[in-house]
Amino acid sequence: MTPTTRTRWAILGLTGPAYLWLACTIFLPIAAMLALSFLDKSPLVPKPASFTLANYGAFFGKPFYWSLTRWSIELGFWVTLFSFLIGYPAAYALAKRVKGRWREAIFLLIVLPFWSNALVRIFSWTMVLRPNGIIDLGVQSVLPGAPTVDLLFTYPAVIIGLVHSYLPYMILTCYIALQAIDDSLIEAGRSLGANKLTTFRRVVLPLSLPGIISGSALIFVPVIGSFMEPRILGGTKGATLGMNIEEQFTVTANWPLGAALSFILLAIVLVIFGMLYPFLRKQSGAA
């Protein structure tokens, strides 16, 4: 055996198992799902199925699915926007204003919850938002006799819960981008006569843009596919595309329709990545 064939076998032996596993559990299933989305019968039905476009037709023909999709995208937009508005200043403060042990401690405290169970964190908001929850109790103690505050099962509840879930992503990506900005660039801007706001707008913000964009992608994508969060915090209000897909697989057992809806969701995700990708590339190339 020559060294090159030996190396080739080593590479194959080392990477083969992992990639075989990924092929059988990610790539082949996605292909199977694509095939299923063009069939007219669920595999649960023991009859041969034939090709159809009806599942996609159902999506494009029914305004009901359009409104589900619109709300999912809007939800993604609001959650991303609020995460940015809350997270960017926090990331800036951590990267540029807080130093040493404090920075380390606060940073750890911010990323810690996002490694804890997502379901549990969403559940914990029901304790805050429901009637007799802490928001309600707080309002009652300040304004005795005020009407009961019941935010559970509303649109804002879903947005609050999701911002809570994904805020650490935005802080993390913006922090990394902001920390990489050389302080002397900011000083240069200031000494050349730019005021604080101009320096921020012309130097800091553009240089941290890649962080903002990757944070937004990391938040937007899972949010438009969410179903557990809107179900627990939104109840029947604000059904999302994700909730409908879940139902097609668990309740109504219309798998082909669920598969088609999943692929529409995936297409939206791909379009978003496609839109952000050249932008990210350009930014990281320039920085």
Map the footprint of other proteins across residues 19-38, applying CB under 8 A.
19, 21-22, 24-30, 32-33, 36
Select 3 or 147, whichever has its Cβ closest to other proteins: 3
For residue 187, CA distances in Å to 52, 123, 198, 203 come to 63, 46, 12, 10
Q: Which of residues 78, 153, 200, 227 is near other proteins by CB under 8 A?
A: 227
Tell me the per-residue interface mask from 230 to 249 with other proteins, x by CB under 8 A, - otherwise: -xx---------x--xx--x
Of 100, 237, 221, 261, the C-alpha closest to 252 is 261
Give CA–CA dist 53/124, Å, rounded: 42
- Total number of residues that touch other proteins (CB under 8 A): 84
**Spatial contact of 226 and 240, defined as CB atoms under 8 Å apart:** yes
**Spatial contact of 98 and 106, defined as CB atoms under 8 Å apart:** yes
Tell me the per-residue interface mask from 42 to 81 with other proteins, x by CB under 8 A, - otherwise: -xx-------------------------------------
- Through-space distance between the first and last CA atoms of the chain, rounded to whole angstroms: 47
Select 116 or 284, whichever has its Cβ closest to other proteins: 116
Select 73 or 221, whichever has its Cβ closest to other proteins: 221
Structure tokens at 110: 């911010």
Structure tokens at 256: 């082909």
* CB 43, min distance to other proteins, A: 6
Select 29 or 206, whichever has its Cβ closest to other proteins: 29
**Spatial contact of 122 and 235, defined as CB atoms under 8 Å apart:** no
Q: Is 124 in the site for other proteins (CB under 8 A)?
A: yes
Select 29 or 156, whichever has its Cβ closest to other proteins: 29
* CB 222, min distance to other proteins, A: 6
Structure tokens at 111: 């990323």
Tell me which long-range contacts 148-154 makes (C-beta under 8 A, separation of at least 24): 152/126, 152/233, 152/235, 153/233, 153/234, 153/235, 153/236, 153/237, 154/234, 154/237
Q: Is 280 in the site for other proteins (CB under 8 A)?
A: no
Q: Is 228 in the site for other proteins (CB under 8 A)?
A: yes
Residues 84-103 that bind other proteins (CB under 8 A): 86, 89-90, 93-94, 97-98, 100, 103
Q: Which of residues 127, 180, 253, 271 is near other proteins by CB under 8 A?
A: 127
Residues 161-200 that bind other proteins (CB under 8 A): 164, 167-168, 171
